[in-house]
Amino acid sequence: MYGPMRKFPWLDFLVILILAAVGRALLLASGALSFHSDEAVVALMARHINQGANPVFFYGQAYMGSLDAYLVAVGFRLFGESVLSIRLVQSGLYLLVVATAYRVGWQFSGRRLIAAVTGLLLALPAVNTALYTTVTLGGYNETLLLGNLILLLGYGAVHAESRSSWRWMALGLVAGLGWWTNGLIIMLAAPTGLILLIVWIRRRTPIREMIPALGLVLLGFFVGSAPWWVFDFTHQHAALSTYLMSQQTGEFAGIGIPYIPPSQRALGFLIIGLPTLVGLRFPWSSAYFLLPVGVLVVLTYALALYRLVRGHNPLRPEARLLVLLIPGLFTIIFIASTFGADPTGRYFLPLVVPLGIIFGTLVDDLASRVVSPGSRAAAVMLVALVIGYQAAGQSAAIQSPTGLTPQFDLISHIPNDHDDELIAFLLDHNLRQGYTNYWVAFRLAFLSGEQLTYSASLPYKADLSYNRADNRYPPYAQATAASDSIAYITTRLPALDQRLEAAFEARGIAYEKAVIGDFHVYYGFPTTPHLTLADL
């Protein structure tokens, strides 16, 4: 198949998995990971699944499938409903991501050092990777895992010595699951498909041999992505329009990603996205972390990429091209599509594995040079530089006042320090419904076991703009509209407080106000004031 196969380095593999498990355990034990409403929505979906619901996508939108919520639902059944249960499920998925990443490095090279470096970069990752493989936003761990499986199955199928129908079927099935889970999977599926096509053309494979393989891939794809297609055809093609346009259609009309010119996407790619990927900046901060060291890390990756592009190739047939195609196509797709509207970091996760392999080729080359006595020492120093920088980034983030947060706009980063106090206050005053912003509503709903079901109808941005997509679960809004005992909860927006108080005073509505940490609670109304944002 590839020439003589070396024995799989099980000891290295197990050591790297143990390092990953220890690192993740320490991160969870630090208490530095904040819990916000994006994660709470997944948790609520999981809770509703265990009650008999069958959501297809993340609540309130026609993309990002509910696979993660179903897995969290299993976690709730095993460990009970809690934030820790969510994180345990994500940690289990993350260990599978590390394991399959190691396997990709090994299958693409057959070299112990390249596989080890690939695994290490994920086992002790940069802050961006650590954050989005611990805190769930609805499927990034699954996307990485399914992406690794696509690389393994696709590369394995095209190089299999015998007919391997199961590989083609499995490849399509995994790609389909990935497409339903997160369209980001295209960043790994498209390069794999191109490699298959290139190999077939080079070998002059007869069409009669290609058609059965393609048929199995397509069959598997449609089976794996069936929930996506059923939803799309029954909701006025809202799922498809998400990717073809920046706006959705039907009941999701008007919910979309703001248009960003390609020039700005390219700039964001270079000065925000790539630095975040390698740990040079954190997703929630504009500052650079240990800039001189970070620049050395970037230069190291650049050197490794340059050498691989120029012809240095310790990888197996077609693996070099596939590894280079992934960042190449990613760059094109990111700048050309709506993905490029958000360069904060999470969309760059598919680059972690190919980046590890690229870096591993440089380390492997240095370590294998017998003519240079210092080359092995240089290889060790390079690995220590990159892994040490990533570990230092995690340590700095953990010890920072912010901790690790998926909130890239810190005005909506509300620490969890006063959640219990707020919940107790609202329950004690029978304020079970009301109006607040997205980042409070769903967090309160999950943490209170849905005793508190607030409508996410208030803004949370400094300019007081509001997107109706924030009200992701209509039953909460309906419960608030029908309630005669409500509260208004605001956070960190003095301008909104002023407008809200002015609206009450203009209508002669008396109220009480409680301040609990960052939460401002307006309550005690003699009559129920159901004010809309337009009334403010």
Better pLDDT: 468 or 142: 142
Q: What is the reported pLDDT for 4? A: 41
Looking at the predicted structure, is the pLDDT value of residue 393 above 80? yes
Tokens representing 88 are 């345990």
Residues 122 and 356 sit within 8 Å (Cβ to Cβ): yes
Q: What is the reported pLDDT for 311? A: 80
- Distance between CA atoms of 507 and 493, rounded to whole angstroms? 22
Looking at the predicted structure, is the pLDDT value of residue 1 above 70? no
8-22, 179-193, 223-237, 311-325, range with the lowest pLDDT: 311-325
Mean pLDDT of the chain: 92
Better pLDDT: 313 or 245: 313
Give the containing element (helix H, strand E) for 514. strand 512-516
Looking at the predicted structure, is the pLDDT value of residue 365 above 70? yes
Better pLDDT: 320 or 250: 320
- pTM for the predicted model, two decimal places: 0.93
CA distances from 156 to 74, 153, 317, 323, 419 (A): 31, 5, 11, 15, 49
* Sheet containing 433-437: order of strands: 455-458, 433-437, 486-491, 519-523, 512-516
- For residue 288, the cross-strand partners are 281
**Helix 10-30 to helix 375-399 angle, to the nearest 10 degrees?**
20
* Pick from 404, 466, 408: nearest CA to 441: 466
pLDDT tens by residue, 170-213: 999 999 999 999 999 999 999 999 999 998 898 888 888 889 88
Q: What is the reported pLDDT for 3? A: 38
Looking at the predicted structure, is the pLDDT value of residue 485 above 50? yes
Looking at the predicted structure, is the pLDDT value of residue 428 above 70? yes
Better pLDDT: 416 or 210: 416
What distance separates the 2 farthest-apart alpha carbons in the chain?
A: 87
pLDDT tens by residue, 77-129: 999 999 999 999 999 999 999 999 999 999 999 999 999 999 999 999 999 99
Tokens representing 228 are 């996506």
Looking at the predicted structure, is the pLDDT value of residue 496 above 60? yes
- Distance between CA atoms of 349 and 28, rounded to whole angstroms? 20
Tokens representing 437 are 């912003």
Q: What is the reported pLDDT for 534? A: 76
* Pick from 365, 354, 352: nearest CA to 124: 352
**Helix 83-109 to helix 140-159 angle, to the nearest 10 degrees?**
20
pLDDT above 90 covers what percent of the chain? 78
Q: What is the reported pLDDT for 77? A: 97
Model confidence at 527, pLDDT cuts 50, 70, 90, reads: confident
